[in-house]
Structure 1
């Protein structure tokens, strides 16, 4: 699905190469804020890096992971998308990041809620998971608020600038939703 209306203020648009500049500019502007929890920021030093990322995820393949730009009041706010989707076992992971000035508005929570429904209803997934770096309390509030179940910790699951960090794993199963 190319566009998803989350609510009257938020819409999602499938990422494409024409968006590389705005995505990179946001990463570059918020570099110090974002790099605390997002390892890719250290490897994103020019627009070409963002273009390469977009090209890698926009293959013309029905089974490629969908990544969306988030627009809040028609202003670019961040990215959200599926990653490491396992179509045989019908499970996927949601990842997201938001520009610093867009924090605290409920944007990611609303987007995650919408994409959970999309994953279960349209993609016929059985499981959606979210991994959150330990101590990233703001991000961890999202799966907790949306009724995800904490499953455990993936020890040293992600390499950050100051070394490896543990990832807290949350999941929601299709039968645990009200729809």
Structure 2
């Protein structure tokens, strides 16, 4: 599945062949990505990324989550997708990361907007949430720009590299908020 964001950007459903691109992006930006993404420290070789990709692609139907690579002119630049989907209550979370040199171009904002439309209109989702580490200013600007509502703080909601807990800001958007 491919969702076109604009003339240069598309999000493409994760495939097993994406593991090398993902690993190379992580490996070349460890300090930048590792500040907010705890999995960077445990991603030491392509095999680690291949295991992640396999777990997504081969997940059983009841636990399957749509994950996408973000591509600019067909070059891998990041990941975005759904997580912790609760089908019974029609809610999901969107997580994302983007390579440093593609920041501040609106790529994640536009990609999240398209994924929200997809979730509301194609998947029958009623609530989408985004969690951002309290100090991660670029990440929290995304839901703010898109009209998500700030709900509060999840205290010590994520364990970062170095065994440091960080608080998370919770933002949500309902289908009726459109």
Equivalent-residue separation in structure 2 for 1:148 and 1:12 (angstroms):
21
Equivalent-residue separation in structure 2 for 1:118 and 1:59 (angstroms):
22
Partner of 2:126: 126
Q: Which runs of 5+ in 2 are unaligned?
A: none
Alignment of 1:25-174 (within 5 A): 25-59=24-58, 61-63=60-62, 64-162=64-162, 163-174=164-175
Show CA shifts across 1:68-109 (max 9, x none): 000012221100000010000000000000011111111000
Show CA shifts across 1:95-152 (max 9, x none): 0000111111110001000000000000000000000001100111000000000001
What TM-score does the superposition give when structure 2 sets the normalisation length?
0.96
Q: How many equivalent residue pairs?
A: 176
Q: What secondary structure does 2:92 align onto? A: strand
Moved over 6 A (4+): none
Equivalent-residue separation in structure 2 for 1:65 and 1:46 (angstroms):
24
What TM-score does the superposition give when structure 1 sets the normalisation length?
0.96
Q: What secondary structure does 1:24 align onto? A: helix
